[in-house]
Amino acid sequence: MFALALFAVFFAVALAGLPLMYSLLATTVGFIVVGGLGHPLTSVYLSYIGGVEPFILIAVPLFIFAGELLSEGGVGRRIVNFAHALLGWLPGGLGVVTVASCLMFGGVSGSAIADTAAIGSMVIPAMVKQGYSRGFAAALLAVAGTLALLMPLSIPFLVYAFISGVSMRQLSMAGIVPALVMAVALIVVCIWYGRKSGCDNGRERSTLPQIWFATKDAGPALLMPIIIIGGIWSGLFTPTEAASIAVVYGLCISIFLYKDIGWHDLPRLILKAFSTSATVMLVIGATGALAWLITVEQVAAQLAEWVRVVATEPWMFLAMVNVALLLLGIFIEPLPAMLLTVPLLLPMANALNIDLIHLGVVVTANLALALYTPPVGGTLFVAAKLADASIGEITRALVPLFAASLVVLGIITFVPSMTSVVYKLLF
Partner 1 sequence: MISPGLHQHASADDLIQARPAQRGLLPPAPPAPAPLRLIGDAVDWSIIGIGAVMIVLVFINVVMHSFGKDMAATTEMCELLMVWVTFLGGAAAARRGVHMAITELIDKLGTGPRRLMDLAISAASAAVLASLVWYGWGITVAGWTNRLTVLDIPMSLQYLALPVASFITLLFVLWDGLQILRGRSHQERFGCN
Site for partner 1 in 265-324 (CB under 8 A): 265-268, 270-283, 285
Question: What's at 174, amino acid-wise?
Answer: A
Question: What CA–CA distance (Å, rounded) separates 377 from 372?
Answer: 5
Restricting to residues 387-426, name those near partner 1 by CB under 8 A: none
- Of the candidates 186, 88, 174, 173, the one whose C-alpha atom is nearest the C-alpha of residue 146 is 186
Residue 317 vs 372, nearer CB to partner 1: 372
Closest separation in Å from C-beta 247 to partner 1: 6
Among 247, 325, 389, 408, binds partner 1 (CB under 8 A): 247
- Of the candidates 338, 386, 106, the one whose C-alpha atom is nearest the C-alpha of residue 221 is 106
Among 172, 244, 373, 419, binds partner 1 (CB under 8 A): 244
Tell me: does residue 26 bind partner 1 (CB under 8 A). yes
The sign of the CA dihedral 368, 371, 372, 374 is positive
Question: What CA–CA distance (Å, rounded) separates 137 from 131?
Answer: 10
Closest separation in Å from C-beta 319 to partner 1: 26
Among 6, 20, 75, 325, binds partner 1 (CB under 8 A): 20
Question: What CA–CA distance (Å, rounded) separates 114 from 237?
Answer: 25
Residue 109 vs 276, nearer CB to partner 1: 276
Residue 23 vs 413, nearer CB to partner 1: 23
Question: What's at 78, amino acid-wise?
Answer: R
Restricting to residues 146-185, name those near partner 1 by CB under 8 A: none
Tell me: does residue 49 bind partner 1 (CB under 8 A). yes
Stretch that binds partner 1, among 40-48, 134-142, 153-161, 163-171 (CB under 8 A): 40-48
Per-position b or e across 48-79, b if 16+ CB within 10 A of its CB: beebbeeeebbbbbbbbbbbbbbbbbbbbbbb
Tell me: does residue 372 bind partner 1 (CB under 8 A). no
Tell me: does residue 250 bind partner 1 (CB under 8 A). no
Residue 206 vs 350, nearer CB to partner 1: 206
Question: What CA–CA distance (Å, rounded) separates 217 from 219?
Answer: 6
Among 4, 8, 53, 295, binds partner 1 (CB under 8 A): 53
Closest separation in Å from C-beta 211 to partner 1: 8
Closest separation in Å from C-beta 357 to partner 1: 25
Question: What CA–CA distance (Å, rounded) separates 160 from 157?
Answer: 5
Neighbours of 256 (CB within 10 A): 8
Question: What CA–CA distance (Å, rounded) separates 376 from 366?
Answer: 15
CB 292 within 8 A of CB 40: no
Closest separation in Å from C-beta 403 to partner 1: 25
Among 1, 34, 129, 198, binds partner 1 (CB under 8 A): 129
- For residues 76 to 105, the per-residue mask of contacts with partner 1, x marking binding by CB under 8 A and - elsewhere, is -xx-xxx-xx--------x-----------
Tell me: does residue 31 bind partner 1 (CB under 8 A). no
Tell me: does residue 55 bind partner 1 (CB under 8 A). yes
Among 109, 111, 154, 240, binds partner 1 (CB under 8 A): 240
- Spell out the residues 6+ positions from residue 61 whose beta carbon is closer than 8 angstroms to its own: 273, 274, 276, 277, 278
Question: What CA–CA distance (Å, rounded) separates 46 from 288?
Answer: 9
Tell me: does residue 141 bind partner 1 (CB under 8 A). no
Closest separation in Å from C-beta 348 to partner 1: 24
Residue 272 vs 319, nearer CB to partner 1: 272
DSSP one-letter code for 255: I
Question: What CA–CA distance (Å, rounded) separates 162 from 422?
Answer: 21
